Amino acid sequence: MPFEDPNRDPRSIRNAATELSTAAPLPTHVPNDDEKSPYIFNFTKGLSHKLNGLLSSTADFEQFAAGTRVHDPDEFAKTPPYRGPFPGANLSGLPNTLSHYRRWESPTAGHAFVLQGPGPFAITMPPAPEVGSAEFGAEVAEVYQMALSRDWSVASFMDESLIDGLTGTHGKTLSDECRHSIKKDNKRVQHAAKRLSHMTWFKGTQDDGQEELIKSRRRHGKTQTASTMFRGEGEDDWATPFLSQFMVMGSGGGSRDLNERAKGFIRYGAQHIPQEVRVAQPERDYMTGWQEYLNVQNGLNARATLPSSGSDAEFVEGAYRPMARMRDIATYVHDDALYQAYLNAALIMLNEGYDLDPGIPYHGAATRKFPFPGAASGDNNRSPFALFGPPHLLTLVTEVSSRALKAVRLQKFSVHRRLRPEAAGALFHTVYSGYEPHWDDASSQPYGATGDSDEQTARQMLADTVAKYTFPQDPAVQGSEPVLEEILTDIREHNTAQNKGALKNSWLLPMAFPEGSPMHPAYGAGHATVAGACVTLLKAFFAMKIDHKPVYVVEPGGSALVPDCGKDPKDHKIDLLAVKIDNGLTLESELNKLMWNISNGRNIAGVHYYTDYIESALLGEAITIGILREQMLAYHPDEQVEMTVPLVVARTLPDALLSGQTQLTSNDVVTAVKIRSDGTLAAA
């Protein structure tokens, strides 16, 4: 007999889900005012550039932009990529000429429809900071400082009280040598934080006219310290390690045993996977010379030109270790499957037996358990698996990432087209080199085309913006950033050492990746959008609080794990250390920290800015909430499924999430939302 459920019409449920995600009018997507010819403040990587770094033809960028505004693949196919030579590059290891060049990555993906959750056009991002603004100056200073900090120990990026409390695990002791090394790095961290705090944005003396909520989440007026620098939003309010425990620990089992966690193996069914990364060559950065930088901007597949072994290889052969140095975090986010860290976190939480949200039925902590006749209190006759069990959860972790990527591709290519930090570094290098960025030490005189009208326009644009940070005509002028000049002096010395003294005047941003950034614009960030989407999913499925009390990864008075320093940056024999955390580490905080560990790991590599992280994380958060709203309609009304999601920051919600609402409006500031069984939201 055919299955019939007269109370559950599939068509009406599908239509109701469609209404949830499409009823609101589409928002207006607004970029900043940086997109103006000759487009030096925009993403131009892969197009043809002249020796001075300017586009060979501004029409190329205009066609590039036009091709991103429509779904028609033939329109973007009109964009001409660079297909010329790469002076000085070793191409002998590449199989053919076409393999020398990189391609733009999914430039029209944001125009593809999605059949679940808000579409890419339904949620927008605020404009990115403009070149010349106080916020842009702070972001550039930060990524330069991150580049200088790549070989410092991760353990040094926390409060001194935690460093003093570090001990060994598995009965081992922490050597005086290692503790001294961490403390030495910590002094450098403190110095870096102190000087960043002198930037206008972090001092709070200039706000670029932004709204209070935006300023707050972008750290306006927030002093940088050793325990806050390079971090993100949503952490516990007390001193904690830099790395989320989900980036360090293995699965501890139901007892959440510290020594089991310290073994560093994630339980994957009958397998276990170590929490280790390949070790990149220590103290090795890329793109610190102009021609090397220019080749990469022209689309050179620079990573493929490196040998697979030996001292010139990208990695130390056969070496893996926990993420002990900041460079290791950058290495992780160079080759990760984008949802990888969150799938790992989900597997750890499942293995360690964390409770699901009480609003999800059929499990131990559920509000609704559906006991059978004569059952003891709390007993029921089913367990979650295909519905609300591990397969449901693990599938969704990967599923939301695909929607998030389409949404952020729209922002990247079709709206903002923001320049990457490597190109921002080239702007500072251009100013500091007297507007002749290609005039290196070996040249007797500049050879730029000074009569070029685009060059004259570019020089004026730089004089009006970038030069004011460090070369203001009046030192008291608003926007002057003396600290940035101090950081750039250190960058010059760093780049001289990278080039073994051959180039003494490079202020380019040293890159952790041979090829620099991916072949798509900076804002928003793919990693950060996926991070926001996946972490939101985990916070929705798992209980962040039970009976109004936080759920902990590390109980108050328990020990967290921190990677050992190693004897030097080249050491790949790393143990995990323990440190007592009086207030513990909450699950919500460690998931939020995981989000910014991955997102800001891209900043550490030099391929993103802070706003790329925070605004993209909020985009991903909204995408997942929208998907979960629709899924509520698929469950039986008697199950009364609800999920409570603490948000990364206090925020207003986009209209795309508010259709059918009776409580919330787009003007309401909320810190957590309850996704109700009818797909609507309530403040939680």
pLDDT of residue 152: 96
Comparing 67 with 502, the larger pLDDT belongs to 67
**pLDDT tens digits for 281-301?**
999 999 999 999 999 999 999
Closest CA to 450 of 16, 51, 34: 51
- pLDDT above 50: residue 448: no
Other C-beta atoms lying within 10 Å of the C-beta of residue 409:
25
pLDDT of residue 447: 45
**pLDDT tens digits for 166-203?**
998 887 788 888 899 999 999 999 999 999 999 999 99
Comparing 508 with 440, the larger pLDDT belongs to 508
pLDDT of residue 544: 97
The enclosing H or E element of 454 equals helix 453-464
pLDDT of residue 185: 96
Q: Round the average pLDDT of the chain to a whole number and report it.
A: 93
Comparing 517 with 93, the larger pLDDT belongs to 517
For the record, the structure tokens of 570 come out as 């080249």
Task: Enter the pTM of the model.
Answer: 0.96
Closest CA to 56 of 369, 506, 454: 454
d(Cα 348, Cα 344) in Å, to the nearest integer? 6
The DSSP output letter for 120 is: G
- pLDDT above 70: residue 446: no
Given the residues 494, 527, 572, 608, the one annotated as active site:
527
For the record, the structure tokens of 478 come out as 């608003």
Other C-beta atoms lying within 10 Å of the C-beta of residue 428:
25
The enclosing H or E element of 242 equals none
- pLDDT above 70: residue 445: no
Average pLDDT of span 72-93: 94
Annotated active-site residue 170? The verdict is no
Percent of the chain surpassing pLDDT 90: 83
Given the residues 520, 548, 572, 608, the one annotated as active site:
520
Q: Which residues pair with 546 in a beta bridge?
A: 549
pLDDT band at 2 (very low <50, low <70, confident <90, very high): low
Integer-rounded Cα radius of gyration of the chain = 26
Average pLDDT of span 256-276: 95
Q: What amino acid occupies position 498?
A: Q
pLDDT band at 503 (very low <50, low <70, confident <90, very high): confident
User: What would the CATH number be for the domain defined by 1-30+93-373+382-684?
Assistant: 1.10.606.10
Closest CA to 427 of 484, 379, 380, 482: 484
Using DSSP's 3-state secondary structure scheme, residue 467 falls into: helix
d(Cα 249, Cα 576) in Å, to the nearest integer? 9
**Residue 626, C-beta contacts closer than 8 angstroms, at least 6 positions apart:** 20, 21, 117, 118, 122, 123, 656, 657
**pLDDT tens digits for 518-572?**
999 999 999 999 999 999 999 999 999 999 999 999 999 999 999 998 655 566 6
pLDDT band at 250 (very low <50, low <70, confident <90, very high): very high
CA distances for 634 relative to 400, 567, 678, angstroms: 17, 55, 10
Other C-beta atoms lying within 10 Å of the C-beta of residue 578:
22
